[in-house]
Each structure stands twice: as C-alpha cells, then as structure tokens.
Amino acid sequence: MRQHLIAPSLLAADFTRLQDDISMVNRSEADWFHLDVMDGRFVPNITFGMFIVEAIGKMAEKPLDVHLMIVEPEKYIEAFRQAGAAVITVHYEACTHLHRVVHQIKDAGAKAGVALNPHTPVDCLSDLIEDLDLVCLMSVNPGFGGQKFIENTYRKVSEAKELLLKHNSKALIEVDGGVALNNTAKLVAAGADVLVAGNTVFASANPEATITELNKLASV
C-alpha cells in the first residue's frame, strides 16, 4: 500500500499572515502545499496567479501542488513551472487538447495532473491515464473553499483506482474539497493517495495538530 500525502490548501489560510501559515505547514506533518489558482472564467472566483505562487515558493519547504482552475491553461504552464510548481493540475473540462497540455506540463519538468469536476466520469481518462502523475477528483464544485463534501466521491475514488490498476498507471489519486476528519479514513480506504484540506486545517483551533490528526486518520 502506498503512503498517502496531506496537502493543505492555502486558499483557507490567512493572507494577512501568510508567512506564519506557511511556516506552520513547513513544520507540520503535511507533504505538499496545495495552491488554488482561479481565473473568474472557468470558476466564478478569482484568487492568485504565478506571482503569488512564486512568493509562496520562496517560503515553502515542501512541493507546490498547483491546481489550475483556469481556461486555456496551456498559455501559462511554463510560467507556473518557473514560479516553482512541482505538480501542475489542469481541468479536463478546460482543455480541448488535453493530451497536448499533459505533455506540455511534463516537458516543462513538472508532474502532470488532471482534475475532474464532480459531474465528469472517471472513464474519460482511460486513453490518457498512463501519462498522468495525478488524477484529482473534485469532491465539491470548484471555485470555493468550505463547501460540503459530495458523497459519491467514494465511488469515484474506487473507479479511479480500478482504472489505474487496469492500465498499470502509477498516478496518484487526489481528493479535493470538503475533506474532513470524518471522511479521511474512508477516502484512503477507497484508494485516495493525496488529501487536500483547506478549511479543515486552517479553520481549526490548532491547524498543525489537525494536520497530524488527518495524517493519523489516513494511516489506519
């Protein structure tokens, strides 16, 4: 069984004291920083771009997992790689030429991920799965933190796991949205490798202890 990874999403961090929150993640048991880039077009919200990703990268001591919720991501792959992204995830729904974009990410030297909205079936990746380093299953509709976890995600995680085994793919399965203390163990049992958590971590009384708790729940 592969080791799971915990990826706190800085979307829920306090941007007036970002350095403190980044230091907390650095010293915590977390594995990656999850960074949510939103453009106000693919999703209704706008967050930040490569300039902020680069600034975060200067303080972060763990890999940057950059989730692009933007249209035409192919225009910005090299820029996000230069900004320090270790993993770049684009949305299936935002790419007409997804195969080309995935290879653009790999050619830029990053790990390539594809995210699927809650309504998008896992099967759509069957002709590309061997080329992927990560499949991100959205367990909320992308655009905002703090939303309610969509329950059929467990089934999708199992389906993604089956697809990976069938194609002998080593891609990690990431779950993003509404990940909490009460669904972590079940997600890992279904096959999740990477757990993204925004509000569960940053809205808790002790974010560092919550990361430890998530890690513990995912380890059983």
Residue matched to tokens 């225009």: 75
Taking phi over 0 as left and psi of -120 to 50 as alpha, with beta for the rest, 191 belongs to left
Q: Which does 73 bind (CB under 5 to 8 A by kind): Zn ion, ligand DX5, none?
A: none
| Binders in 45-84 for Zn ion, by CB under 5 A | 67
CA distances from 104 to 78, 98, 113, 128, 163 (A): 8, 10, 12, 14, 23
- Residue choice 122, 176, 188, 193 for contact with Zn ion (CB under 5 A): 176
Between residues 67 and 91, which has the closer beta carbon with respect to Zn ion? 67
| Alpha carbon 126 to its chain's center | 20
Selected catalytic residue, list 31, 36, 131, 133 = 36
Q: Which does 140 bind (CB under 5 to 8 A by kind): ligand DX5, Zn ion, none?
A: ligand DX5
Which chain residues interact with ligand DX5 by CB under 6 A? Answer: 9, 11-12, 34, 36, 67, 140, 142-143, 145-147, 176-179, 196-200
Question: Which one, of 110, 100, 45, lies nearest residue 80 by Cα?
Answer: 110
CA distances from 220 to 76, 187, 189, 191 (A): 39, 11, 9, 13
Say if residues 161 and 188 touch (Cβ distance below 8 Å).
no
Residue matched to tokens 């249209």: 71
Between residues 33 and 129, which has the closer beta carbon with respect to ligand DX5? 33
Binding footprint of Zn ion, residue count (CB under 5 A): 3
Q: Which does 145 bind (CB under 5 to 8 A by kind): ligand DX5, Zn ion, none?
A: ligand DX5
Q: Which two tokens stand for residue 155?
A: 């089934």
Q: For the chain, what's the residue count?
A: 220
Q: Which does 187 bind (CB under 5 to 8 A by kind): ligand DX5, Zn ion, none?
A: none
> Has 107 been annotated as catalytic?
no
Q: Which does 190 bind (CB under 5 to 8 A by kind): ligand DX5, Zn ion, none?
A: none
- Residue choice 22, 28, 33, 36 for contact with Zn ion (CB under 5 A): 36
Between residues 131 and 176, which has the closer beta carbon with respect to ligand DX5? 176
Integer Cα distance of 10 and 214 in angstroms? 16
Q: Smallest distance, Å, CB 214 to Zn ion?
A: 16
Which position's Cβ is nearest ligand DX5? Answer: 198
> Has 14 been annotated as catalytic?
no
Integer Cα distance of 75 and 140 in angstroms? 26
Residues acting as catalytic residues: 36, 176
- Per CB under 5 A, residues contacting Zn ion are 36, 67, 176
